[in-house]
């Protein structure tokens, strides 16, 4: 983490505010704050959670063709589902942008950014915290179950992950949106872990 301490949070915030626009930037700060609270609750680095939360959506406003080119240039695999639903790529592209543009070297932070939309099996505590903070941060109002999930997040990370994935899969099915096999794989993995 020593390298990361040299990162100037204020200059990152300034860039993100400009690039993401007011609404997305406010969400970003909400994820950052929520991730810091969860990190202190679960005894992991608060600074890593702060930087991962701040940067998790850094590629959200990239043009589709630019996020594809960035992933290609960085030899990041683009799956068929991602080709059909390019917005999903903002997670992988975000990790590459965090590395190249924001000079983040810490692999744990990059991993949390990379898997923040679909999750993945065997996530680290930081991966889980960013995934969950993204869903429950105070500016979100997309689900009636948020008050329940916001409390659960500070009691049981894995159960919160399962509940969020369940809600997401239900929502995607209802909307008829294509489900990324990684979202289902993550859900199945944590259901199996629980039993």
Describe the crossing of helices 22-42 and 46-55 by its angle, rounded to 10 degrees.
160
The residue within the footprint of Fe ion, chosen from 67, 134, 135, 165 (CB under 5 A), is 134
- Supply the minimum distance, in Å, between the C-beta of residue 120 and ligand DGI: 12
Residue found by looking up tokens 């992991």 in the block: 44
Euclidean distance between the first and final Cα of the chain, in Å?
Answer: 35
- Supply the minimum distance, in Å, between the C-beta of residue 88 and Fe ion: 9
What track of x and - describes contact with ligand DGI for positions 63 through 92 (by CB under 6 A)?
----------------------x-------
- Supply the minimum distance, in Å, between the C-beta of residue 24 and ligand DGI: 8
Residues 124-183 that bind ligand DGI (CB under 6 A): 134, 168, 172, 177-180, 183
8 or 55, CB closer to ligand DGI?
55
d(Cα 80, Cα 62) in Å, to the nearest integer?
Answer: 19
> Of the candidates 38, 67, 50, which has an alpha carbon nearest to the alpha carbon of residue 149?
38
Binding segment toward Fe ion, per CB under 5 A, in 11-19, 55-63, 105-113, 145-153:
55-63
The binder of 99, among Fe ion, ligand DGI, none, by C-beta within 5 to 8 A per type, is: none
d(Cα 20, Cα 23) in Å, to the nearest integer?
Answer: 8
Question: 88 with 119: CB under 8 angstroms?
Answer: no
Residues 97-126 that bind ligand DGI (CB under 6 A): 116-118
Question: 105 with 4: CB under 8 angstroms?
Answer: yes
Residues with Cβ within 8 Å of residue 148, at least 6 apart in sequence: none
Question: 51 with 1: CB under 8 angstroms?
Answer: no
- Supply the minimum distance, in Å, between the C-beta of residue 53 and ligand DGI: 11
Q: Which residues would be at the binding site for Fe ion (CB under 5 A)?
A: 57, 134
Q: Which residues would be at the binding site for ligand DGI (CB under 6 A)?
A: 27, 57, 60, 85, 116-118, 134, 168, 172, 177-180, 183
């Amino acid at each position: 983490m020593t390298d990361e301490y040299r990162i100037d949070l204020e200059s990152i915030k300034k860039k993100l505010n400009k690039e993401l626009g007011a609404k997305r930037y406010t969400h970003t700060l909400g994820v950052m704050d929520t991730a810091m609270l969860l990190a202190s609750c679960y005894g992991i680095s608060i600074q890593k959670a702060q930087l991962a939360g701040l940067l998790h959506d850094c590629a959200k406003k990239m043009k589709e063709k630019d996020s594809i080119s960035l992933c290609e240039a960085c030899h990041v695999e683009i799956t068929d589902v991602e080709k059909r639903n390019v917005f999903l790529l903002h997670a992988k592209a975000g990790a590459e942008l965090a590395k190249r543009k924001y000079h983040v070297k810490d692999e744990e932070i990059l991993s949390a950014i990379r898997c923040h939309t679909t999750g993945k099996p065997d996530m680290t505590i930081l991966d889980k915290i960013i995934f969950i903070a993204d869903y429950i941060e105070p500016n979100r109002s997309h689900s009636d179950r948020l008050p329940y999930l916001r409390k659960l997040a500070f009691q049981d990370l894995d159960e919160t992950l399962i509940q969020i994935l369940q809600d997401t899969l239900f929502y995607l099915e209802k909307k008829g949106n294509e489900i990324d096999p990684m979202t289902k794989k993550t859900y199945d993995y944590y259901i199996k872990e629980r039993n």
